């Protein structure tokens, strides 16, 4: 609407709290090379080794990443999962898959051009400066914060591109015919009326006998399950900004001084409401046209000098700014910086109600009237005190923490035979741990840090009882520990675990008997034999998507069963040890499949097909890559019972 108003860029400041670099927790620079001896490897992929240290760091980074995604809401269940064998195995599988694919890419001669690599990195907005341009300085700064060099990061991105090409190649081969999709939709939407009969192992457990000889035989055959790992109990110190905050004070006098120094931040800008009459003339117009425009503007100005109240009338009749002319020349409120300089200088020099002589700009000649002035308003100190206090305190707490961290690091090193001098100097509390192992700090996330555990179980720490170096286990959290009790690996005596073994064997045999009983019931029902005393649940209609309480394995069995003759029966041993018999008494087919259903199902099935094809290809590559895993080094050392 206002053609003469300059278009100002509004700068948006973005604070990056965390940069999650692609595949960062899978290691950096060891995908095609070996390293370390056989005693130090968790797995090998061809000639490439995954070392204990590399695997431990990858597990730690994966745990940290998931905790960061949980945004502080992690609970005991989540912590248990992050320290579980399943989680560690998943991390190792990801590492192996990545290495297998990269080796395949190397064998196929796949490569990434310098131009493509540069283009991908240049597109990462985290590296842009405030003007929206790629900044080498910011690039290097953020990489340093992640303990990476540009060469390491560029290697990661190159590998990422190669992996993406392999995945895209698989995705391009996925195809699902419409008739197949329709058939699968009909199966998915088919309803079956099902009732259940549960055969529980609890019914058989009290009848199971396990002798001491059988328990001892199991113990001897599975001694590795009953080995107590090397472990240690620790005393340790924790330094956080909250500890440093105890010595930080900010007075009101200091806050008021800061308020005065930053007063413009708490003031609104002066605003003016103006009206104008624009006599347009282009910069490349002839001298005669320019003179005519100036003369017309001067004539209107003279008329306004005699009759100021005609401003709106003359604006509607003469102004070349159609948007404001319809409003009698009204431009509304504006601050400095929104108008071209000549217009702005004139407008902010006028008093309320005053009309300017013609002002020349790139758009022509303006006659300006100031209709209203909003003066600068200052937010009182009392209203911004808490905001200022928070900002100043956070800054000083961080400064105090950094200073304390230096003292902390120096003291635990120089006073290496005790944590007490450090605790006394910084007013910290020496804490005690439960048993920890070289691969697990237990449920304490502060101790569950690869670097710290490596320091704890170093020869220097174990033999000389020295403090470990200060380790940053989390952002702004430093820990130093000292071993107070150490136990080497040892075998558990049979007497300690015999009761657990007996319970375990009883449970296993009860599960076997429940399955045997369940299979016998299914066989009799299928043959048409009457089986009395069966406690069937109330029948209900289910689909593959709406299971209505059916176990997933049970649902698959129900819809895999031949329902040509009803009732049909099928039995499944589910993962909690129970055996469930399902009776199918009615089948309802879907009448028709809509185009939308076909399209949605086709897309979903294509995604599933891609995933399965990709998994099969990776599995095939893995078999050919001679992957060897040291299972005893994948999981943290722990007894089975």
The DSSP code sequence of 264-303 is: GGGBPPPEEEEEEEEEE--TTS-HHHHHHHHHHHHHHHHH
* Phi, psi values for residue 13, rounded to 5°: -95, 125
Over residues 210-227, mean pLDDT = 90
pLDDT tens figures, 37-59: 444 688 888 888 888 878 888 88
For range 370-377, the mean pLDDT: 88
pLDDT at residue number 305: 93
**640 or 231: which leads in pLDDT:** 231
Q: Given a cut of 90, is residue 20 above it in pLDDT?
A: no
pLDDT beyond 80 at 248: no
Lowest mean pLDDT among 152-161, 223-232, 609-618: 609-618
Taking residue 104's Cβ as centre, other Cβ atoms within 10 Å add up to: 18
More confident residue, 231 or 249: 231
The pLDDT value recorded for residue 185 is 79
- pLDDT category, 412, cuts 50, 70, 90? very high
Look at 98-107, 413-422, 497-506 and tell me which has the smallest mean pLDDT.
98-107
pLDDT in tens, 510-523: 999 999 999 999 99
Is the pLDDT confidence value at 360 over 60? yes
Q: What is the mean pLDDT of residues 110-130?
A: 87
If pLDDT is split at 50, 70 and 90, which confidence band does 452 have? very high
Residues 6+ apart with CB under 8 A from 252: 385
pLDDT for the residue numbered 176? 62
Residue with tokens 């555990």: 453
Band of pLDDT at residue 188, cut at 50, 70 and 90: confident
Measured between alpha carbons, how far is 577 from 202 in angstroms, rounded to an integer? 9
Structural domains for the chain: 24-175+616-634 (1.10.4030.10), 191-227+493-588 (no CATH), 239-250+395-488 (no CATH), 268-374 (3.10.50.40)
Q: Is the pLDDT of residue 296 over 70?
A: yes
Radius of gyration, alpha carbons of the chain: 38
Helix/strand/coil for 471 = strand
Confidence at residue 79, expressed as pLDDT on a 0 to 100 scale: 73
Tokens of 543: 């689909």
Sheet bearing 231-239, strands edge to edge: 431-432, 231-239, 477-487, 471-474
Read off the pLDDT of each residue in 128-153 and give the average, rounded to a whole number: 81
Average pLDDT, integer, range 285-289: 89
Whether the upstream peptide bond of residue 567 has omega within 30° of 0, thus cis, is yes
Kindly tell me if the per-residue pLDDT of 215 is higher than 60.
Answer: yes
Q: For the whole model, what pTM was predicted?
A: 0.44
Higher pLDDT among residues 504 and 378, named by residue: 504
Give pLDDT, residue 195: 94
- In terms of pLDDT, which residue wins out, 196 or 172? 196
Give the tens place of pLDDT for each residue, 153-174.
888 888 888 888 877 776 666 5
Long-range contacts of 12-15 (CB under 8 A, 24+ apart): 13/130
Which of these, 218, 46, 17, 39, lies nearest to 626 by C-alpha position? 46
Q: Tell me the pLDDT of the chain averaged across its residues.
A: 83
The DSSP letter of residue 29 is S
What span, in angstroms and rounded, lies between the C-alpha atoms of 94 and 83? 17
Q: Mean pLDDT throughout 78-87?
A: 79
Q: At what angle do helices 595-624 and 85-107 cross, to 10 degrees?
A: 80
Convert the pLDDT of each residue in 577-614 to its tens digit: 899 999 999 999 888 877 777 777 777 777 777 677 77
Q: Span 315-319, mean pLDDT?
A: 92
CA gap 358, 272 in Å, rounded: 18
- Whether residue 569 contacts residue 526, with contact meaning beta carbons closer than 8 Å, is answered with yes
What was the pLDDT predicted at 630?
84
């Amino acid at each position: 609407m206002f053609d003469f108003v300059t278009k100002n860029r509004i700068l948006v400041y973005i604070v990056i709290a965390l940069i999650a670099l692609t595949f960062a927790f899978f290691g950096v620079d060891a995908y095609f090379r070996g390293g370390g001896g056989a005693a130090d490897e968790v797995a090998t992929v061809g000639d490439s080794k995954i070392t204990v240290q590399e695997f431990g760091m990858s597990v730690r980074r994966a745990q940290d990443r998931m905790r960061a995604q949980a945004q502080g809401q992690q609970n005991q269940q989540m912590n248990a999962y992050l320290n579980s064998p399943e989680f560690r195995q998943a991390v190792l599988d990801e590492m192996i898959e990545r290495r297998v694919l990269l080796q395949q890419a190397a064998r196929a001669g796949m490569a990434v051009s310098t131009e493509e690599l540069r283009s991908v990195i240049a597109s990462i907005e985290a590296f842009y400066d405030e003007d929206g341009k790629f900044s080498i300085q910011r690039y290097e700064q953020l990489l340093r914060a992640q303990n990476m060099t540009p060469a390491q990061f560029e290697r990661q991105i190159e590998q990422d591109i190669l992996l993406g090409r392999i995945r895209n190649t698989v995705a391009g081969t996925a195809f699902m015919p419409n008739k197949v999709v329709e058939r699968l939709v009909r199966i998915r939407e088919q309803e079956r009326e099902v009732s259940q009969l549960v055969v529980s192992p609890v019914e058989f457990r009290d009848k199971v006998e396990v002798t001491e000889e059988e328990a001892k035989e199991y113990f001897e055959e599975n001694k590795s399950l009953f080995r107590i790992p090397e472990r240690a109990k620790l005393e340790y110190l924790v330094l956080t900004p909250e500890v440093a905050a105890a010595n930080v004070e900010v007075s009101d006098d200091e806050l008021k001084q800061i308020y005065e120094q930053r007063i413009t931040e708490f003031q609104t800008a002066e605003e003016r409401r103006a009206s104008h009459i624009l006599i347009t003339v282009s910069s490349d117009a002839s001298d005669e046209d320019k003179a005519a425009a100036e003369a017309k503007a001067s004539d209107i100005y003279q008329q306004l000098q005699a009759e100021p109240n005609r401003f709106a009338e003359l604006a509607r009749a003469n102004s070349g700014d159609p948007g404001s002319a319809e409003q009698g020349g009204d431009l509304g409120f504006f601050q400095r910086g929104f108008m071209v300089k000549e217009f702005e200088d004139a407008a902010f020099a006028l008093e309320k109600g005053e009309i300017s002589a013609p002002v020349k700009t790139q758009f022509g000649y303006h006659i300006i009237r100031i209709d209203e002035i909003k003066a600068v308003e200052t937010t009182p100190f009392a209203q911004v005190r808490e905001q200022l206090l928070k900002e100043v305190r956070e800054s000083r707490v961080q400064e105090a923490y950094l200073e304390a961290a230096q003292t902390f690091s120096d003291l635990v090193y120089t006073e290496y035979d005790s944590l007490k001098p450090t605790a006394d100097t910084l007013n910290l509390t020496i804490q005690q741990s439960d048993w920890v192992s070289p691969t697990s700090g237990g449920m304490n996330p502060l101790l569950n840090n690869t670097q710290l555990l490596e320091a704890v179980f170093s020869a220097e720490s174990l033999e000389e009882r020295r403090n470990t170096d200060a380790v940053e286990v989390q952002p702004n959290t430093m820990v130093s520990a000292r071993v107070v009790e150490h136990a080497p690996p040892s075998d558990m005596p049979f007497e300690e675990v015999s009761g657990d073994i007996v319970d375990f064997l009883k449970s296993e045999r009860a599960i076997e008997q429940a399955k045997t009983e369940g299979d016998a019931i299914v066989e009799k029902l299928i043959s048409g034999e009457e089986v009395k005393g069966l406690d069937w649940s109330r029948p209900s209609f289910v689909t593959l998507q709406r299971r209505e309480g059916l176990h997933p394995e049970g649902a698959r069995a129900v819809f895999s069963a031949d329902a040509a003759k009803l009732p049909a029966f099928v039995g499944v041993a589910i993962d909690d040890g129970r055996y469930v018999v399902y009776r199918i008494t009615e089948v309802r087919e879907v009448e028709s499949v809509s185009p939308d259903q076909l399209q949605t199902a086709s897309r979903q099935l294509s995604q599933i097909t891609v995933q399965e094809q990709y998994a099969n290809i990776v599995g095939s590559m893995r078999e050919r890559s001679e992957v060897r895993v040291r299972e005893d080094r994948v999981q943290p050392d722990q007894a089975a019972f």
